[in-house]
């Protein structure tokens, strides 16, 4: 869907939509997004600009979390409207100040094609720079999560890992995760599962709090 507002055209992406494909230059070469993802899950996240303090801490944190993303079969790519030369020079600052090594690509979206495709530029916030958007894409190329942060608020990547754990768990098991759930804790049995089906699906047992609220140990934890 395309929405036009005050002479500004933007795409609308919703949960369950196929992640729009694109080809773009990055610090690790040209990326065709769908080909680059392959059979992995993905995180596409934008930052307002290079050489900005909050963005520097965010990209440093992502680099430090690469092993956690790899464990979950998740590829991460960042994006801003700055050019490749700016990205590559800024990476040196990130490595120095955050005591890490940037180990994921950063897209140079100078023509704003990807930013507009993913509705990352919100004109009432800034007509030039992207907001802090996060898209989690499943291994089926579908959008699983969208979060938008203002420029003044850095993202919590522990929360993104928690959400990915939930998304991957619920993609393959008939469960949902309750408030403040963390990996390894009890989960909610889907309302679509009948009581008669529970023993076969959830051999660890379950607890019925209400007919619509049935808890079971996380099924993919031994």
Active site residues: 55
Q: Could you say which DSSP state residue 127 is in? A: S
Reduced to 3 states (helix: H, G, I; strand: E, B; else coil), residue 188 is strand
Alpha carbon distance 168, 219 (integer Å): 12
Sheet holding 132-137, edge to edge: 29-32, 23-26, 106-108, 74-80, 41-46, 132-137, 143-149
Cα(92)–Cα(79) distance, integer angstroms: 17
């Amino acid at each position: 869907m395309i929405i036009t507002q005050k002479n500004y055209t933007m795409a609308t992406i919703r949960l369950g939509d196929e992640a729009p494909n694109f080809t773009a230059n990055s610090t690790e070469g040209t990326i065709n997004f769908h080909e680059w993802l392959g059979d992995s899950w993905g995180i596409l996240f934008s930052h307002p600009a290079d050489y900005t303090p909050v963005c520097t801490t965010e990209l440093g944190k992502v680099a430090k979390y690469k092993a956690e993303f790899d464990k979950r079969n998740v590829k991460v790519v960042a994006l801003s409207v700055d050019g490749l030369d700016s990205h590559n020079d800024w990476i040196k600052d990130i490595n120095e100040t955050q005591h890490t090594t940037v180990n994921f690509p950063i897209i140079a979206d100078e023509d704003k094609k990807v930013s507009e495709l993913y509705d990352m530029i919100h004109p009432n916030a800034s007509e030039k720079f992207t907001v802090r958007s996060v898209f989690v894409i499943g291994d089926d190329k579908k959008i699983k999560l969208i979060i938008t942060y203002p420029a003044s608020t850095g993202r919590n990547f522990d929360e993104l890992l928690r959400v990915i754990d939930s998304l991957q768990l619920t993609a393959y098991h008939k469960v949902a995760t309750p408030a403040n759930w963390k990996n390894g804790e009890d989960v909610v049995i889907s309302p679509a599962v009948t009581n008669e089906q529970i023993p076969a699906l959830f051999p660890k047992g379950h607890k019925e709090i209400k007919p619509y609220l049935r808890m079971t140990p996380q099924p993919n934890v031994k």
